[in-house]
Amino acid sequence: MNAASFYAKAPRHLVAVDCIIFGFDEGKLKLLVIKRKVAPMAGEWSLVGGFVQPEESTDDAAARVLKLTTGLDDIYMDQLHCYGDVNRDSGARVISVTYYALIRIKDHDKPLAQEHGAHWLELENMPELIFDHKKMIEDALVKLRDNAQFHPIGFELLPQKFTLSQLRSLYEEIYGRTLDKRNFRKKILSLDVMEKLEEKDKTSSKKGAHLYRFDPEKYEQLKKKGLVFEI
């Protein structure tokens, strides 16, 4: 059998990308989800996704979907898993490759997101979603927790300038548990990957709390020393 015949007789499947888009706002970990516009299950909550086009890689397709929905590019994105159960999509035989992304909510194009029917919902109050999207979120959260423990990806969710309380609150949301304030402060400062600024956040008190900024160069120095970012 020649190559043309071999490929011509092969079954055809649809390939999609689904994006689990995390954000952090008002002390809560949130997800960007949409109301599905097409049947089956039109009007139900869904992850942001789309089909891979003939000229695209799955990475390119995921980046396009994220850009179309948020207006952002060059953001943190990581491939998660392939979901290929035969009956996972009631509309057709669809294989989905998932990606999770981390964005700063205040940076995204709010009108563009609204145009696509996208909403930021708290992770802990997530409604029922279509197909196997709940499983996708659960898997993404596991990977986020694993990666956040040893890599400084959590800073992708924070403003450029943040307080230690905001940083601790973020990691408490990611890990789903309370962190000791004193131990967390001691640990994160010992890593020496942040720059302490003269500015203060005075929204919570007159005295205010010092603002910090993540320093990529200091993180690179940490790696060169053979040390590990661990929280």
Please give the full DSSP string across 79-144, using - where no structure is assigned. Answer: EEEEE--TTS-SSS-EEEEEEEEE--GGGS-HHHHHHTTEEEEEGGG---BSTTHHHHHHHHHHHH
**Comparison of pLDDT for 77 and 208, the residue scoring more:** 77
pLDDT tens, position by position, 41-67:
999 999 999 999 999 999 999 999 999
Q: Enter the pTM of the model.
A: 0.92
Whether the link from the prior residue into 152 is cis, omega within 30° of 0, is no
pLDDT tens, position by position, 201-224:
877 766 778 999 999 999 999 888
User: What are the CA-CA distances from residue 144 to residues 48, 163, 197 (Å)?
Assistant: 18, 21, 28
pLDDT computed for residue 3 by the predictor: 66
**Mean pLDDT of the region 150-175:** 95
pLDDT computed for residue 143 by the predictor: 96
Query: At how many degrees (to 10) do helices 164-175 and 133-150 cross?
Result: 130
- Of the pLDDT bands very low, low, confident and very high (cuts 50, 70, 90), residue 228 is confident
The pair phi, psi for residue 38, each rounded to 5°, is: -120, 155
